[in-house]
Amino acid sequence: MTSPNTLFDLAGVRARIHHLPGHAPFMLAADLAEVYGTSTRAINQAVKRNPARFPERYLVTLTEDESRSLKSQNVTSNRANRANLTGFTHGGANMLSGVLKSAVADQLAVAINDAFTEMEQAAVRDTKRMLLKLQTEATRKPIYMWIKTYVERGASFEELWRDTNYSRPKLEAAAREMLAQGLIPELPHGMQPGLFDNV
């Protein structure tokens, strides 16, 4: 049994969280067994005995192709040598600590929860930075600046069109792009909304 104070600190657990398209981040049952100091068989039995605690959204069943993808990401062969592997999402990994009979389960559950939470918070921060970058770059476009200014003034689309050198179709297309990106709260007054405009 591995001591929670040695190998499986926050970084050690985080390294065992996997990402594959179409799945929430997850840990393999074999990895969780190693972290919790138990066997994969014990984890599978815990799931079977407590089905109400492990809804489908807490579990990940990998296909043969996905198993191969994990191998290509340097997951060791003894953890990825079966066609179908079982994984646990954040919720599933946390739930295991309540059903496993392990002396270190409570201590290690904290590290597992913290690793998932830290990763999720980093993903949210990255998404916010990306959106801010996109919005900043978008507002640098001269046509966007014209539209934004006129919308903030409450001016009409006709005024905007009259005061710029852009064609009507180009202004309309740019205004709809800005509305879709959340750069303006509404279309310029007098501009007819399109079928897919969020108004």
Q: Are 63 and 125 in a shared domain?
A: yes
Q: Are 112 and 170 in a shared domain?
A: no
Q: Are 62 and 115 in a shared domain?
A: yes
Q: Are 101 and 124 in a shared domain?
A: yes
Q: Are 54 and 149 in a shared domain?
A: no
Q: Does a structural domain hold residue 55? A: yes
Distance spanning both ends of the chain, measured CA to CA: 59
Q: Does a structural domain hold residue 194? A: no
Q: Are 22 and 71 in a shared domain?
A: yes
Q: Does a structural domain hold residue 47? A: yes
pLDDT for the residue numbered 136? 66
Q: Are 18 and 107 in a shared domain?
A: yes
Q: Which domain holds residue 171?
A: 141-181
Task: Report the distance separating Cα 132 and Cα 130, nearest Å.
Answer: 5
Q: Are 165 and 98 in a shared domain?
A: no
Q: pLDDT-based confidence at 196, cuts 50/70/90?
A: very low
Q: Are 121 and 146 in a shared domain?
A: no
Q: Does a structural domain hold residue 111? A: yes
When mean pLDDT is compared over 63-67, 106-110, 111-115, 176-180, the highest value belongs to 176-180
pLDDT for the residue numbered 120? 83
Q: pLDDT-based confidence at 101, cuts 50/70/90?
A: low
- Name the more confident of 174 and 8: 174
Please write the tens of the pLDDT for every residue from 128-163: 887 777 666 665 678 888 898 899 999 999 999 999
> Of 183, 146, 182, 184, which is closest to residue 166 (Cα–Cα)?
146
The predicted model gives 105-126 an average pLDDT of 80
- Name the more confident of 59 and 126: 59
The number of residues making up the chain comes to 199
Q: Are 23 and 87 in a shared domain?
A: yes
Q: Does a structural domain hold residue 3? A: no
Q: Are 151 and 120 in a shared domain?
A: no
CB 17 within 8 Å of CB 115? yes
Q: pLDDT-based confidence at 8, cuts 50/70/90?
A: low
Q: Are 98 and 145 in a shared domain?
A: no
CB 31 within 8 Å of CB 79? yes
Handedness of CA 93, 95, 98, 101 (dihedral sign): negative
Number of domains in the chain: 2
Q: Does a structural domain hold residue 44? A: yes
The predicted model gives 1-18 an average pLDDT of 65
Q: Which residue has the tokens 């904290």?
A: 110
Q: Report the 3 state secondary structure along 29-80.
A: HHHHHHHHCCCHHHHHHHHHHCHHHCCHHHEEECCHHHHHHHHHCCCCHHHC
